[in-house]
Amino acid sequence: MSAGIAFASSGGLQPGVSGVPAGHGFPAEMNCTACHASFAVNPDTVGKVELGGVPERYAPGARYKLTLTVSHPDPAVQRWGFQVTAVAAETLAGAGQLVATDAKTTQVVRGTIDGRLYVEHSYNGTGAGTTRRQSWTFEWVAPPSSLGDVAFYGCANAANLDGANSGDRVYCGGPLALVRAPEA
């Protein structure tokens, strides 16, 4: 999905707005600026999106607890959102499974591009009224056999809680993390 209209809400996003680049016959994904367009993506150096818990190298079928954190020091930022996917770095096809371990704050949606799954915030997971940072925890189950290196792409929204899609800042990492393939 490289063109079109993105549909999102505080209850979650459509699949395919995590910023995966074009390649291997797949179009580039949109990111959250498709709707939250007041600023360009990564508009400043004080907002950050980070993915923690990612192993250096994965073991086939192993489960990993990951934490995505978005932060911004502006006290007007009081609502948060995100979407993350895992793809084979070589082919950009979906890699492994993403698991929502807290159904109150996260959910998993299936995309339409080559097996990609996305984990994202739920309505109750936007941290409405929370300042400085918001974190979400979920799991990644590595592919059952090696797909080569795996890249995690994702975008996060540091929003102002005004109920509109203006004045919000979007931060994307491309990729957020790269996990090396299992040793042969």
What does 107-152 look like in DSSP terms, one character per residue? Answer: EEEE-SSTT-EEEEE-GGGS-TT--EEEEEEEEEEPPSS--S-EEE
Q: 93: Cβ–Cβ under 8 A, 6 or more apart, which residues?
A: 24, 87, 114, 115, 116, 147
Q: Tens digits of per-residue pLDDT, 127-167?
A: 999 999 999 999 999 999 999 999 999 999 999 988 888 88
With beta carbons less than 8 A apart as the criterion, state whether 47 and 70 touch.
yes
Give Cα 130 distance to the centre of its chain: 19
pTM of the model: 0.89
- What CATH superfamily is the domain 8-179? Immunoglobulins (2.60.40.10)
